[in-house]
Amino acid sequence: METYLALGSNMGDSRHYLKQAVEQLNQHSEISVLSKSDIYETDPYGDVPQDDYLNAVIKIETTLSPHELLKTVNDIEASLDRERLVRWGPRTIDIDIVLMGELEIDTPDLIIPHKEITKRSFVLIPLKDVYTKVMLKGKSLDEWIELSGNADEVRQTNESWD
């Protein structure tokens, strides 16, 4: 199933953590990384003082169920020293399932599409690099980016995946 994952990091060597997350995902027998967005620098989300983030979105193909994929990304986060100490706090790596085919899931531990997707330019702008559809929830990505009101918090970088 075509799936989009948002990645973010703002601790240590953030580019390294993004690359390691993608490599580990691609090594999984039921996941193929199809494309990667550019890497963007973004202001932190929420009220916790912290460094800026590097953010990206990747498009994958997977045969995992949504909850199996959630376990996989949580295991990868743990392998990359992710600690959940403060909500919206700094992190070595954050991997969110933002879209998974046409699925709509709302359980206590997993909501797809991600409930905040249309409010976060740090997801929408990199998503635009790899998203294969024209519309998301009835609007174009450009419309959602404009409505988010925070597109100016997302900046192109010279960071590369190489």
Q: Catalytic residues, which ones?
A: 82, 91, 94, 96
Tokens 């995992």 correspond to what residue?
Answer: 64
Do 60 and 5 touch, CB atoms closer than 8 A? Answer: yes
Torsion of Cα atoms, 128 then 129 then 135 then 140, to 10°: 40
| Residue of 11, 87, 10 lying closest to 48 (CA atoms) | 87
Q: Are 39 and 161 in contact (CB under 8 A)?
A: yes
CA distance 49 to 39: 22
